[in-house]
Structure 1
Amino acid sequence: MTYRYHDESIVKALPEDTIFVFGSNMAGTHAGGAAKTAHLHFGAMKGVGRGWSGQSFAIPTMNEHLQQMPLSQIQHYIDDFKIYTKNHPKSKYFVTSVGCGVAGYTVEEIAPMFKGISHNVIFPASFRPFVEKALPKLNQHFLHTVFSDAVIFAAQPEEAVAELDLTENEKSAAKIILNTQIYPTDSNGRDRIFEIQDILHVLQGKVFNFQHSEDDALMFGGAILALLELYSINEKDFADTWLGKQEISPPKAASKSKK
């Protein structure tokens, strides 16, 4: 399942059908971070530390004494939220980095708890590797198969990916890469051309000999940038994997839970 994502910048307004989802404490103090934003701009009520109020939805990550909740308890409240989104399908849900601020947890610990939620959710971009299908290990075969003109410039990328000699998880990753808007602007309207040009400069002659028009080269480089961001790697990692010098494991959820 593929979700929509936001760039985690501070928002002060959302469409009427979109609910602001934030991490809270059971006391409902809403004194800082996304909770304060929810109170100031999205109708979160003081004293309401759980569930819907105004244009917001609170997921507790701290107790009434402002102490960190155990992950197992947070999972319980996230499961409640999953049910809420399923029962209210006409609304969209703008999820912030719940539990990753004052509560002190990491994205790797929190994001996997949302896996399998309804499709009407907009996640922070950092959650992506943990809520999509499991990402595959990057290897030479995957890169050579996906980063070809026949795939990158296909009129129907989804159909092109379906025909590739890849596993289902690899096809899922390929679709994420090809569907990630980077060029001419990314999904948040930011110009990424200088970043793409830097990538092309580093890889030219070492991995590729680009013989494309400028627009096509930038589109190709944009797909590479999408991969680098998805796996949190750099151009050298890409080049070494392309040349078969290494394989790269995907981002994984932390195996240790905080008590």
Structure 2
Amino acid sequence: MTYQYHDESIVKTLPEDTVFVFGSNLAGKHHGGAAATALAHFGALLGVGRGWSGQSFAIPTMNEHLQQMPLSQIQHYVDDFKIYTKNHPKNKYFLTAVGCGIAGYTVEEIAPMFKGISRNVIFPASFRPFVEKALPKLSQHFLQIMFRDEIIFSDNSDALIDVLALSENEKSLARIILHTQIYPTDSNGRDRVFEIADILHNLNGKVFDFDRKTEAPMLFGGVILALLELYGINEQDFADVWHGKREIAPPKAAHKAKRG
């Protein structure tokens, strides 16, 4: 199933038929992250930590004591949301990365809960590999086609990807990592420069020879960081695949990143 996606920028307005969906706590204290945006701009009500209010919909990920809920309980509230979207098909639903901020869960843990939901949901881009097409195994063939200057620095990467000797799932993976905002900050505004510099240091001479005098290696490293985080792997894993020592299976819902 193909969904719509948004780039996870902060929004303050949406069309009248589009509901802002955010992660909440059962106490209805909307003081941070997307919940604060919902309170300020989309009609969320203090004290209402579950369901519809104004132009917003709350999915609890923390309890009334502001403690992280078990994933099984969050799934219950996500299932309620699935039913709501099905019963209100004239609306669209702008889903934020619920549970992936203050609640402390990863995208890999939360996103698969939404698989099979109605097509009127607009997902955060980071959820895409977990609700749509299955990711492929990470192979030497993919890396050595993908990580070329003409692809990494292309102004029209989508058109270029279309003609690459890759499977459809590999092309989907290529688009995901090229369109993931990482350098110099990610979609949450976090500075990633030092992490990227660390990746370049760890891979320099082992996989690539980087010229540190230009900005180009940092852009290149940003794409590598996006791939490492998507698959939950580290630089040594990347190097092993690059040299054909092994392939790496796609991430699963409970898989967590192990960079370092």
- Whether TM exceeds 0.5 here: the answer is yes
Counterpart Cα distance in 2 of 1:176 and 1:133: 11
Q: Distance in 1 between matches of 2:37 and 2:239?
A: 44
CA distance in 2: counterparts of 1:131 and 1:23, whole angstroms: 22
2:226 equivalent in structure 1: 226
- Mapping of residues 13-52 of structure 1, within 5 Å: 15-17=12-14, 19-22=20-23, 29-30=27-28, 43-45=43-45, 50-52=50-52
- Paired with 1:171 and 1:88, the residues of 2 have a C-alpha distance of 31
Q: Given that residues 60 and 77 in structure 2 are in contact (C-alpha distance below 8 angstroms), is that contact kept between their aligned partners in structure 1?
A: yes
Contact 1:140/1:244 (CA < 8 Å) preserved in 2? yes
CA-to-aligned-CA distance 1:70-107 (integer Å, 9 cap, x gap) = 68754541322433675223x63434128x959xx986
In structure 2, distance between residues paired with 1:254 and 1:187: 22
Answer whether contact 1:52 1:58 (CA < 8 A) is retained.
yes
Which residue identity lines up with residue 225 of structure 1 in the other structure? L
Give, as a single letter, the amino acid of the residue that structure 2 aligns with 1:191. Answer: D
- SS of 1:214's partner is coil
1:139 corresponds in structure 2 to 139
Task: Name the count of aligned residue pairs.
Answer: 242
Give the superposition deviation at 1:113: 2.9
Q: How does 1:1-259 map to 2 (within 5 A)?
A: 1=2, 3-4=5-6, 6=8, 15-17=12-14, 19-22=20-23, 29-30=27-28, 43-45=43-45, 50-59=50-59, 73-74=76-77, 76-83=79-86, 86-89=89-92, 92-97=94-99, 101=103, 110-115=110-115, 117=117, 118=119, 121-123=122-124, 125=126, 127-210=127-210, 214-253=214-253
Tell me, yes or no, if the aligned pair for 1:135 and 1:170 is still in contact at 8 Å.
yes
Q: Which amino acid aligns with 1:4?
A: H
2 CA distance for matches of 1:241 and 1:231? 12
- 3-state secondary structure, aligned to 2:113: helix
Aligned-residue offset at 1:163: 0.9
Question: Quick one: structure 1 residues 21 and 40, their matched pair in 2 at CA, closer, same or farther if it must change by over 3 Å?
Answer: closer
Query: Could you tell me the TM-score, scaled by structure 2's length?
Result: 0.72
Tell me the distance in 2 between the aligned counterparts of 1:231 and 1:24.
29
TM superposition score normalised by structure 1: 0.72
Q: Aligned partner of 1:3: which letter?
A: Y
Do the aligned partners of 1:78 and 1:113 also contact (CA within 8 Å) in 2? no
Tell me the distance in 2 between the aligned counterparts of 1:71 and 1:189: 26
Determine helix, strand or coil for the equivalent of 2:96.
strand
Q: Which runs of 5+ in 1 are unaligned?
A: none
C-alpha separation between the residues in 1 aligned to 2:108 and 2:103? 13
Shift, 1:40, TM fit? 6.3
8 Å CA contact 1:85–1:120 kept in 2: the answer is: no
Of 146-155 and 136-145, the range deviating more from structure 2: 146-155
Shift of 1:44: 4.1
CA distances 1:123-174 after superposition (whole Å, capped 9, x unpaired): 394x454224211111111111111122112231001111111111111010
Deviation at 1:112, TM superposition (A): 1.6
The offset of 1:178, in angstroms, is 0.8
Contact 1:95–1:124 at 8 Å: present in 2 too?
no
CA contact (8 A) 2:196 2:221 kept: yes
Q: Distance in 1 between matches of 2:221 and 2:47?
A: 49
Aligned-partner residue type, residue 249 of structure 2: S
CA contact (8 A) 2:24 2:35 kept: no
One-letter amino acid of the structure 2 residue matched with residue 58 of structure 1: A
Gaps of 5+ in 2: 64-68, 256-260
SS of structure 1 residue aligned to 2:124: strand
> d(CA) in 2 for partners of 1:235 and 1:72?
33
